[in-house]
Amino acid sequence: MERIQDCGVYRLSDDLAIVQTVDFFTPIVDDPYLFGQIAAANSLSDVYAVGGKPLTVMNIVCFPSQSMDIDILRQVLLGGLAKVCEAGAVLVGGHSVDDRELKYGLAVTGLIHPQKVLRKETARPADKLILTKPLGTGIISTAIKAGVATEEATTRAVASMVTLNRVSSEVMQEIGASACTDVTGFGLLGHAAEMIENTDRGIIIRAGAVPVLPGAEDLAAMGMVPGGLYRNRDFRSAMVEFAPGLSQFRQDILFDPQTSGGLLIAVAPEKAKGMLSALHASGVKEAAIVGEIVKSPAGKIVVEP
Amino acid sequence: MTEVITVDARGLSCPQPAMMTRQALQKLGKGTVEVLVDSPTAKENVTRLAKNAGWTVTVEDSPDGSARIVLRK
């Protein structure tokens, strides 16, 4: 069985393939325009993770037409469209159904050269791992729901979630990566695990080097921890070894489920600093080298301070 | 005799159980708070919140997956 990748890839000719992906979900912020932007950026992310270029998109909408003002839907769709335009893609249609709760997202079709598809599991020993966005959107989204997120935490989390992974993907392709995935619902360690599961390689993550959104630590201490974080931790605990003395937050945040999270890029060690500088220079300011691929222990993630 | 507050957060999903517990802890200041939950997430979040606020936590698990969490300060 073929390993599951971030996108479906279908080769049309020797030098052209289409990549396809779909994602949609319920609102995680109150502002409908921002929710539209976040959902669209999140849907487009899988195409960027494999190194593709989004071509066309279709809206997927569930809407409670009896109980919600249609203007809310208009704002959601406008927010999404703004991100579709920013991606250089074209909205060609969509479909809506009546539902009790608003849901929105995109089905995305992109283009890619069949030989240039970036996979999850092709990282090589000594490769560095670059993460392009800070973690914490799951905890902060939970706190937003509870009404206790600070303005700074909310603003920074939203700014991160509406940011397309387009620039990161372009820089990554220009410099050359050996593997890539995007960090979403399974958290950093869950997605990192997919890069080495059933391979002869392992990963070292340096917890202190992982960028984290401001406020996430205080909110986690208040119990604003999404259920997905605990499920991610329980699912992957057998693969992960934490160094003794690592704080509970530093362990937890690595499992925080992300919405519209960053790319996790494996890059040859001699190119890593150059890629990081290029990311920073292109405006991906919070990108950081968070770990590396190792030969041993194979199939494990060791988290160091 | 110290006052005991019971927070029944059964059937509620996160972040509500943690928020209800937080309000009870703030209202009481010190004493005993009993929290009833029926999900692993609520159990962990209530425990985390209370420990970080300086309360001692005792968890009594039931076979049906629910739990009674006693918080003391």
Banded pLDDT at B2 (limits 50, 70, 90):
low
Contact B41 A223 (CB under 8 A): no
How many angstroms away from the CA of B14 is the closest CA of chain A?
Answer: 7
Supply the pLDDT for residue A257: 98
Q: What ranges do the domains of chain A cover?
A: 8-116, 128-304
A 10 A CB-CB count for B2 gives 9
Token duo for residue A52: 């593709």
Average pLDDT, chain A: 97
Q: What residue has token string 């994602």?
A: A23
Token duo for residue A196: 């080495």
Measured CA to CA, the distance from residue A134 to residue A258 in angstroms comes to 10
Supply the pLDDT for residue A45: 98
The percent of residues in chain A predicted with pLDDT above 70, rounded, is 99
Q: Is the pLDDT of residue B46 over 70?
A: yes
A176-204 pLDDT per residue, tens: 999 999 999 999 999 999 999 999 999 99
Mean pLDDT of A203-229: 97
Q: Regarding the domain delimited by A128-304, which CATH topology (the fold level of the hierarchy) does it fall under?
A: Phosphoribosyl-aminoimidazole Synthetase; Chain A, domain 2 (3.90.650)
User: Computed over its alpha carbons, how large is the radius of gyration of chain B?
Assistant: 11
Do the first three CATH levels of A8-116 and A128-304 match, i.e. the same topology? no
A 10 A CB-CB count for A88 gives 11
Contact B15 A227 (CB under 8 A): no
Contact A226 B14 (CB under 8 A): yes
| E strand map for A138-237 | 179-182, 202-206
Measured CA to CA, the distance from residue B1 to residue A211 in angstroms comes to 48
Contact B44 A225 (CB under 8 A): yes
Measured CA to CA, the distance from residue A236 to residue A246 in angstroms comes to 17
Measured CA to CA, the distance from residue A305 to residue A221 in angstroms comes to 20
Quick check: A267 and A127 in contact, CB under 8 A?
yes
The percent of residues in chain A predicted with pLDDT above 90, rounded, is 98
A107 bridge partner residues? A22, A58
A39-54 exposure pattern, b = at least 16 Cβ within 10 A, e = fewer: bbbbbbbbbbbbbbbb
Of all residues in chain A, the one with the smallest CA distance to B17 is A223
CATH for B4-72 (3.30.200.20, 3.80.10.10, 3.40.30.10, 3.30.110.40): 3.30.110.40
Supply the pLDDT for residue A1: 46
HSE value, Cβ hemisphere, 13 Å, CA-based, for A186: 15
Quick check: A38 and A162 in contact, CB under 8 A?
yes
Q: Is the pLDDT of residue A300 over 90?
A: yes
B3-41 pLDDT per residue, tens: 789 999 999 988 999 999 999 999 999 999 999 999 999
Supply the pLDDT for residue A232: 98
Contact A146 B18 (CB under 8 A): yes
Nearest to B18 among A222, A230, A248 (CB): A222
Q: Is the pLDDT of residue A124 over 90?
A: yes
Q: Is the pLDDT of residue A292 over 80?
A: yes
Q: Which residues in chain A are contacts of B15 at CB distance < 8 A?
A: 142-143, 145-146, 223-224
SS3 A282: coil
Measured CA to CA, the distance from residue A187 to residue A137 in angstroms comes to 10
Q: What's the distance, CA A269 to chain centroid?
A: 23
Supply the pLDDT for residue B3: 74
Contact A148 B46 (CB under 8 A): no
CA distances from B14 to A136, A223, A271 (A): 16, 9, 43
Name the burial class of residue A14, with classes exposed (0-12), middle (13-18) and buried (19+) by CB atoms within 10 angstroms of its CB. exposed
Closest residue by Cα to residue A135 from A220, A254, A221: A254
DSSP A283-305: T-TT-EEEEEEESSSTT-EEEE-
Q: What ranges do the domains of chain B cover?
A: 4-72
Mean pLDDT of A30-39: 98
Mean pLDDT of A254-277: 98
Q: Which residues in chain A are contacts of B48 at CB distance < 8 A?
A: 220-221, 223, 225, 248
Measured CA to CA, the distance from residue A295 to residue A268 in angstroms comes to 14
Q: Is the pLDDT of residue A213 over 90?
A: yes
Supply the pLDDT for residue A107: 98
Average pLDDT, chain B: 93
Q: Which residues in chain B are contacts of A223 at CB distance < 8 A?
A: 15, 17-18, 21-22, 45-46, 48-49
| Type of residue numbered B28 | L
CATH for A8-116 (3.10.20.30, 2.60.40.150, 3.10.20.90, 3.30.1330.10): 3.30.1330.10
Interface of A with B (CB under 8 A): 142-143, 145-146, 148, 220-227, 230, 248
Banded pLDDT at A32 (limits 50, 70, 90):
very high
How many angstroms away from the CA of A256 is the closest CA of chain B?
Answer: 13
Supply the pLDDT for residue B65: 86
